Chain A
Amino acid sequence: MGYNCVVLVKQVPDTKRITGQAMNEDGTVNRAALPAVFNPEDLNALELALQIKDQYGGSVTVIAMGLPAAAAVLREGLYRGADRAILITDRRCAASDTLATSYILSCGVKKLNPDIVLCGRQAIDGDTAQVGPQIAEKLNLPQITYVETLVSLAGKAIVAKRNLGNGWQEVRSQLPALLTVIDTANEPRVPRARQLMKCKSAQCRLEVEAAAQNAPSVDVDAVCRDLKTRGLLIEQWNLDDLKADLQWCGRDGSPTKVHRIQSVVLAAKESKIVEPSQSGIDTMVHELIVDHTIG
């Protein structure tokens, strides 16, 4: 029978490689200076979906929400093995917090009516881990968070093992259900070179339009038609396509607001340099005993 899986993926700044220059002087994040990557745990979610497809058949659709540049992670999704890629992009999505984001994404998922929705536990830019459970609530789906192992799939029932940090739990749920997947669940497969070369040219319409601005002779419609016949057109949905209620989208749909952003200044402390010698260390230990830190 097969299972239709939807994987929600996010393009994120690579926070592990943030340097001093990545912060603006006003303390805001200089996103331009940060390499954008496929959110790591979303790769684990995609891998799990691909494993389900390999074993049981069905399809894998990747969805991302973001600016046209976010099409990059959908290209990656395609060359890693997804069948279909959809970019939800709309200026009215701007300034969405996790609640508005989950509302918008849930409208997209609803259109596809999948058996299994998968996403990474959390994204490395915000680490909130909220969007998965919130989408599950909006779609009235069971949520299985922190999935480490898919134990079995049979008919309309899924059994999965959750990693709870201090142990594990095995649960059964009826489908459809939403899973959030953690980094220890699997090792994402290496994309096949041929697939990679083929999907590198996948684009969404906005990207085709942007490229055409410098080459007025390009017929955007014709290019998109051609991409579509080759399976390389990244579909593009806006909030009208989703029939989203605008009061729950973007800034209006976001109860949380930013009050202040500060860059982390690690205060230089009053410090002493201790010689790496027995006498230097003896002196330090003596001081720590005198001020009752130890002893």
Chain B
Amino acid sequence: MIEVNKQGEVWIYAEQHKGHLEDTSLELLSKGRQLAVQLKVPLAAVLLGDRISHLCEQLGHYGADKVYLSEHPLLEHYQVTSYAKVIGGLIDRHKPQIMLYGATPCGRDLAPRVASAMKAGLTADCTDLQIGHHEIKKTGEVFENLLLQIRPAFGGNIIATIINYDRWPQMATVREGVMPLPIPDGTRNAKVIKEAVHLSQSDLSLEILSEHLQKKKVNLKASRVIVAGGAGVGSKDNFRLIWDLANCLGGAPGATRAAVDLGFIDRDHQVGQTGTTVRPSLYIAIGISGAIQHQAGMADSQKIIAVNNDPEAPIFNVAHYKIVGDLNQVVPMMIKAIKEKV
């Protein structure tokens, strides 16, 4: 735990694997930039690994004012105990006021371990962050310029805003895809601060025996058009309709959790609270009832078309174009119309 430190910097954890930065870390830089400007403090990235100093330049282009660089052979592979130890040491030394992590599998493994060691608060899976003040009603005491950590809870049924005013740093993990990627500026440079790292083999609690990681099969976040199917599509064969419509629009196929669980399509395509959050120009929801967990991942799309045979389906509450009808008839009509006009 560190004391409240209004001069403290805004930090983001720059997650890298095998010398590549995660998109989420770059997204954090865009939000971190806003927060740092409002608080009039520098934005810094915390980068750990082995022989990864080349990433400092990229972090600068994406908005970091500083990079705290910790390089050590024992940091080559991410491991929670060694990484948490190094980050805890940096927080103790430099006393940032805010520390953000991507809510990736790695970030959600690491951040709670750091929070526990620092006896600091941590809010999971934030969908927005703002700066604001908090008043304790009983005493009238007001805390200015706090990090408002905004997240869905209770399965997406409520939105909670969490703060920590007395024990810092204010830490949060941020959901992937909810912050826009910043546009890199090749003229920006970050000041690199090399940190000494003291680690021994005993700081690695796990032995990594083997690993198999693959790139996601689809990049939903980058798609301008997403055509998503739900359980109402009926079968894996019938999901062909979703692929066909997506293909003729140059879009990506998406799916609800129900459709993924039914085996209609791979989990990489899942949109929603437990999948990817998307905000495309056009989202076409086919045979999707619109559970709140799904809506949490797509309601910010610029245009939404919903096709469902149930006029009461909740998806229609967020749709701009409502088509009540049989998807087996409507989707081919859409394909026909698009092929003729576009």
Contacts and interface: CB of A to CB of B under 8 A. Distances in A.
A49 B1 CA distance: 34
B163 interface: yes
A258 interface: yes
A146 to B, nearest CB: 6
Contacts of B153: 125-127
Interface stretch (A66-74, A217-225, A260-268): A260-268
Interface string A110-131: 0000000000000011111111
A262 B159 contact: yes
Contacts of A102: 116
A262 B322 contact: no
A259 B148 contact: yes
A13 B84 CA distance: 32
Contacts of B120: 99, 255
Contact of A18 (B125, B154, B213): B154
A258 B209 contact: no
A102 B44 CA distance: 30
A257 B211 contact: no
A171 interface: yes
Given A257-B164, A272-B322, A262 B158 contact: yes
Contacts of A282: 337, 340-341
Contact of A266 (B152, B299, B320, B324): B299
A127 B164 CA distance: 19
A29 B334 CA distance: 42
Contacts of B212: 167-169
B61 interface: no
Given A99-B116, A169-B210, A274-B323, A281 B161 contact: no
Contacts of A131: 112
A278 B80 CA distance: 56
Interface string B326-338: 1001100110111
A280 B81 CA distance: 59
A170 interface: yes
B155 interface: yes
A293 B303 contact: yes
Nearest to B106: A164
B112 A133 contact: yes
A98 B112 contact: yes
B302 interface: yes
A268 B106 CA distance: 37
A133 B206 CA distance: 14
B21 interface: no
Mostly helix, strand, loop or mixed at chain B's interface?
Answer: mixed
Interface string A262-295: 1110111111111111101110111011000111
Nearest to B306: A271
A143 B321 CA distance: 48
Interface stretch (A78-86, A134-142, A195-203, A229-237): A134-142
A33 to B, nearest CB: 12
B84 A137 contact: yes
Contact of B122 (A146, A174, A256, A271): A256
Interface string B250-279: 000000000000000000000001000000
B165 to A, nearest CB: 7
Contact of A276 (B214, B323, B338): B323
A286 B340 CA distance: 10
B155 A18 contact: yes
B325 interface: yes
B105 A256 contact: no
A101 to B, nearest CB: 11
Given A172-B207, A267-B318, A294-B282, 10 more contacts: A98-B122, A133-B80, A143-B113, A169-B211, A256-B164, A259-B162, A262-B159, A269-B317, A272-B321, A278-B337
Interface of B: 1, 80-81, 84, 104-106, 108-109, 111-113, 115-117, 119-125, 132, 134, 146, 148-149, 152-167, 205-216, 225, 249, 273, 281-282, 292, 295, 299, 302-305, 314, 316-326, 329-330, 333-334, 336-338, 340-342
In the complex, the 5 A-B pairs of residues with the closest C-beta atoms, listed nearest first: A276-B325, A15-B155, A255-B121, A167-B213, A142-B205
Interface of A: 13, 15-16, 18, 22-23, 27, 29, 97-99, 102, 124-134, 136-138, 142-146, 159, 164-174, 248, 254-264, 266-278, 280-282, 284-286, 288-289, 293-295
27 contacts: A15-B157, A97-B121, A99-B121, A99-B122, A133-B113, A137-B84, A143-B109, A164-B213, A165-B104, A166-B214, A169-B211, A170-B208, A170-B211, A174-B205, A255-B121, A256-B149, A259-B161, A260-B160, A261-B159, A263-B158, A269-B319, A271-B321, A275-B323, A281-B323, A289-B342, A294-B338, A295-B342
